[in-house]
């Protein structure tokens, strides 16, 4: 009974949202679609909040039990509390809204920049290991592209030939964009197929 009810509710709500897109002249369907999407956004926010609470609970228990690598759990919990407290403080006192911007500029941005730099180094190390264990055309192509991108992105004053920035821009605007569009199209097709399977009852993520 619960399965049939969940299946019926999922199909009905999916049908209302779908018809709201294909029949834009019906004001009632437009209102229902907007309301359903608003409910979905609220439920997604609640689910994210529950997930955050669950994550904090797991790491707090790990810290209290002094399990392996409990120091990382302590850093995560303290960082979350500090960031959350800064956000609440800025909301209550609008004149202190620069506090969150300060944390983002001097904590988040340096961390992301460091990770990006480490990624570049890891790519070179991975290329060297590929040359050591497998020497085919894909390895040399990977190394050549990595070197072109790194040399083309150098910002220091150095006599770099113009061919490297040209190749860098070509790689970013042609192969990279083509690959990104292919991935996005694949994600869109996968989302459509998943939605149709849920809509027709072939998949039941809402079941028991």
Closest C-alpha to 37, from 51, 22, 16, 9: 16
Whether residue 41 is predicted with pLDDT greater than 80 in this model: the reply is yes
Burial class of residue 64 in the structure, from the number of CB atoms within 10 Å of its CB (0-12 exposed, 13-18 middle, 19+ buried):
exposed
Q: pLDDT per residue over 106-146, tens digit each?
A: 888 888 888 887 887 787 788 778 778 777 787 888 888 87
- Residue 135 backbone class (left: φ over 0; alpha: ψ -120 to 50; beta: rest): beta
Give the rounded percent of residues in the chain with a pLDDT score beyond 90. 12
Q: pLDDT per residue over 166-194, tens digit each?
A: 888 888 888 889 999 999 999 999 888 88
- Residue 201 backbone class (left: φ over 0; alpha: ψ -120 to 50; beta: rest): left
User: What pLDDT is recorded for position 182?
Assistant: 92
Alpha carbon separation from 9 to 2, 42, 124, 198, 202 (Å, rounded): 11, 18, 52, 11, 15
Domain-by-domain residue ranges, the chain? Answer: 1-96
Distance between CA 15 and CA 198 in Å, rounded? 11
What average pLDDT does range 6-27 have in this prediction? 78
Q: CA 30, 35, 40, 41 torsion: positive or negative?
A: positive
Q: How many C-beta neighbours within 10 Å does residue 73 have?
A: 21
Least confident of 32-46, 69-83, 143-157, 161-175: 143-157
Please tell me which of 62-76, 122-136, 158-172 the model is most confident about, judged by mean pLDDT: 62-76
**HEC string for 136-159:** CHHHHHHHHHHHHHHHHCCCCCCC
Closest C-alpha to 153, from 140, 143, 167: 167
């Amino acid at each position: 009974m619960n399965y049939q009810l969940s299946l019926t509710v999922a199909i009905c709500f999916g049908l209302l949202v779908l018809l709201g897109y294909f029949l834009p002249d019906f004001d009632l369907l437009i209102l229902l679609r907007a309301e359903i999407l608003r409910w979905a956004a609220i439920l997604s926010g609640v689910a994210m909040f529950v997930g955050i609470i669950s994550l904090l609970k797991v790491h707090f228990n790990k810290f209290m039990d002094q399990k392996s690598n409990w120091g990382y759990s302590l850093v995560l919990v303290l960082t979350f509390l500090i960031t959350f407290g800064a956000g609440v403080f800025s909301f209550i006192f609008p004149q202190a809204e620069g506090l969150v911007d300060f944390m983002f500029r001097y904590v988040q941005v340096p961390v992301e920049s460091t990770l990006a730099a480490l990624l570049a180094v890891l790519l070179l190390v991975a290329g060297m290991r590929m040359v050591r264990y497998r020497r085919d055309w894909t390895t040399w192509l990977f190394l050549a592209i990595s070197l072109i991108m790194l040399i083309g992105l150098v910002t220091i004053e150095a006599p770099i030939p113009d061919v490297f920035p040209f190749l860098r821009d070509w790689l970013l605007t042609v192969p990279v964009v083509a690959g990104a569009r292919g991935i996005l199209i694949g994600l869109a097709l996968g989302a459509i197929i998943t939605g149709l399977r849920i809509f027709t009852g072939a998949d039941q993520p809402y079941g028991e």
